[in-house]
Amino acid sequence: MTPEFATELIKAMILQAAALAVPMLMTAMAIGLAVSLFQAVTSIQEQTLTFVPKMVGICVLTVILLPWMLRTTIEFTTSVIQKMPQMVH
């Protein structure tokens, strides 16, 4: 395995991980911002109020995006397995 091939493989893995994580992180950030604004406007300072909406939002998004996440993960894994002969040389 050449250093260039290893670098490209690691780069592809990082991009794949980021592509799978970004929708979840953005959803949690948006829900957190909305709940924080709600708390600031209503003066409700309950710490547990932020956890439940984020958890529900992430669960709903996971159910919606699961087919896409599985498809992209399977495609990436298949491409890595197909490149294994190149890794030996």
Residue 2 has pLDDT above 90, yes or no: no
Helix, strand, coil in percent for the chain, rounding step 5: 90, 0, 10
Number of Cβ atoms within 10 Å of the Cβ of 30: 12
Closest CA relative to residue 18, chosen from 78, 67, 76, 87: 76
> What does the pLDDT average to over 36-56?
87
Regarding pTM above 0.85, the answer is: no
Share of the chain above pLDDT 70, in %: 100
